Structure 1
């Protein structure tokens, strides 16, 4: 082929390329507004949730997804200054929905804890710090995109957007809907009421009797039911102590839970699935502390966090506690502190204080203790290093293993307390399943059950004539 023919072929190929390029650019130009609309209204606002769902368990987000679309469709016709607060409002709503689902919170009661949230050290957790930084970056990107391309987005095809949204919603529900991520207070609707206090026989202590042993009820933070029976044996091994079993009859079981910690408190203290606000309204049930006080018990509550959280300083007296000890009201000076985002005295040190109070009680004493250190996210290395948690240990997951070591320290401390106070009636029960973010960790627990352990004295204490003085 001579040079003329080569030139003709090259020219023809160049024309084809140019024509093809023009056609592609024309198609892109025609699809541009619609593509920008789908990206700005659907993909960018949900990009972080999409990425996060590959690693952590994000609950289904139908309402926030729809809200973003509505705000974008309205916002592209508004001035930028009007768009920003609308967009940030949906971001806040989205975040609130995710947090309430993950932590089993009742959205209606969140406003009671707004002041108390200032005591939570979110940025001390690498997970929360990373999520906060990522959220800030994605929100900024979404707002920039919206302001930059709002004019062409107005011309986007609404039918294409509707089809994309429908597919996105279907995929979100199919992937992220899970019972373990949907256990708010509504989970109890239609289900028979259960509590460890009733199932274990602990409630019988409120009945008239000449015997008035000291009573300890421990609500263990985030203690869930491990699916693997071998892992449960490792977790509860502290209760296999020979001296403990010689003094106590040990029974175990599980009970259903609904909602966050405050619902667990109402479940065990007041035999109710209502929110604690019913006590503030004066229409609540008669709770366990009131019943024991009627038998002559001094009722004391103990918690290592601020009294403002869950408004406990207001409703605990209504539940029947004559004294409540919190981080901000404690008279004992604790030199050590534990916890990640929720920092307070170490649970094992509080156990020592309770041990001392029980041994020195001058009248029948009921102590109710809400533990703190196993609150998610736990900080690795805070408990006794019983296992090789870096590799997951016997629990197969580093995070679950770190939590288990905290629980094991607590159980060992309660076991020692029991041995030193052999006549004390003791019940431990979880408040709710651990609200772990990662799917791989969360699925290791039953989604709707918590365990309980009762230590009932083999040799109940004989009736004691207590002095009238009250313990310190």
Structure 2
């Protein structure tokens, strides 16, 4: 049995091609069990072929598809994510992040070795190597299942069959414009989760449950389930639907911006990144936005650049633009602001003021650097929203602040600091008896 064990097949056809993904088992990773099973089955058949170039072509295809699948799972994208792959490669700069850079280096080295050596694996000559290869592959699947068990529920690409669509805009009774003509500002915050630890809860409450808000607003808090990526969160909140942005091909009159436009509001959207990544400049008009400003538009208005894997205009400067619009408006405004700068991983960078993070008590910040930087970036955003909401010259305005999806940390320790499956929302409903 030892003599028949297909060690070279296991190393060159399964372990080395997937080494970068398997190393993530030690820090946290999405479940890859179905993909590994497919990889092993196809690799087992391909290894029996006699043409080296065919073997290499099949192995290269497996590697490319596995990387594609891993990216989809990692970012909670559905199987239609192929349509955004090229814009993602062009617009996003993952090699700015040390984590991505290290993963890319490991991937390149291990896959190069595998592609060079795999064709040299000789076809099996008896049933025993096949049985042992299947057994070895099943062990890999078992390890993947065990290693990802604690975070499996936090990867939520698709809703269970029959699950209703829940949106904070609906829970807060904003889908139908009310009489009175208050302005409405909806802010979807990248990677805003519901914390579970006492330190994290205290930091969250200091930013998103401010006592001063109650002097001007009726404040409500809630939680809603999320599925999918940022665009899924946008369509959840703006249209109360669960579908891909690719499916938005004609006007959707039931969406929030369209409803408010019909009620006489001007509708505007702000986002600090390029519109090309998820075709927002194509489908935003279809859901009812009169105008929208993206990265280059915001740079033209004087906003600064904030670095990161998703580099673009600085979130904390956009509320100032919204304030100008609301104060100058002659008609009621429905304003939508999708944030950008809290896309993970968040680096230490002067442009986003994350060189030092001193949130929390004791050694919390030092022990949790990535977590601290996420809360710090959310704090900067909360301060900017607070300045907007509490501006004494601001006309009566209602605010809804809601997360798009769970903070997608690689590290399972950081990932488990948040309630799986839900995002928070905060409603500030302006009181006509403003005591500020």
Helix, strand or coil at the partner of 1:453 = strand
Residue ranges of structure 1 left out of the alignment (5+ in a row): 1-26, 462-472
What is the alpha-carbon distance in structure 1 between the residues aligned to residue 199 and residue 11 of structure 2? 48
User: Does 1:370 pair with 2:341?
Assistant: no
Q: 1: distance between equivalents of 2:341 and 2:376?
A: 11
2:252–2:258 CA contact under 8 A, matched in 1: no
Question: How many pairs align?
Answer: 427
**Residues 25-424 of structure 1: matches in 2 within 5 Å?**
30-31=3-4, 34-147=6-119, 149-151=120-122, 157-177=129-149, 178-184=151-157, 186-204=158-176, 206-207=177-178, 209=179, 211-239=180-208, 241=210, 243-280=212-249, 282=250, 284=252, 286-330=254-298, 332-334=300-302, 336-381=304-349, 382-383=352-353, 387=358, 393=364, 397-420=368-391, 421=394, 423-424=396-397
Shift, 1:154, TM fit: 6.3
Report the CA distance between 1:390 and its aligned residue. 12
Is contact 1:46-1:65 (8 Å) kept?
no
Q: 8 Å contact 2:153–2:420 — kept in the other structure?
A: yes
Whole-angstrom CA distance in 2 between matches of 1:450 and 1:423: 27
Q: Which has the larger radius of gyration?
A: 1
Change (3 A) 1:225 1:110: farther
- Greater displacement, 119-128 / 89-98: 89-98
> Per the alignment, do residues 164 and 303 of structure 1 end up closer, same or farther by CA in structure 2, a change over 3 Å counting?
same
CA–CA distance in structure 2, aligned partners of residues 56 and 353 of structure 1: 39
Q: The residue matched to 1:197 in structure 2 has which SS?
A: helix
Shift of 1:160: 1.1
2:175·2:259 contact (CA, 8 Å) conserved in 1? no
TM-score by length of 2: 0.90
| Cα displacement (A) at 1:419 | 0.9
Q: Which runs of 5+ in 2 are unaligned?
A: none
CA–CA distance in structure 2, aligned partners of residues 104 and 194 of structure 1:
18
Quick check: 1:394–1:401 contact (8 Å CA) kept in 2? yes
| Preserved CA contact (<8 Å) 1:68 1:87 | no
Q: Distance in 1 between matches of 2:347 and 2:308?
A: 5
Q: CA deviation at 1:271?
A: 1.1
Return the TM-score normalized by structure 1: 0.83
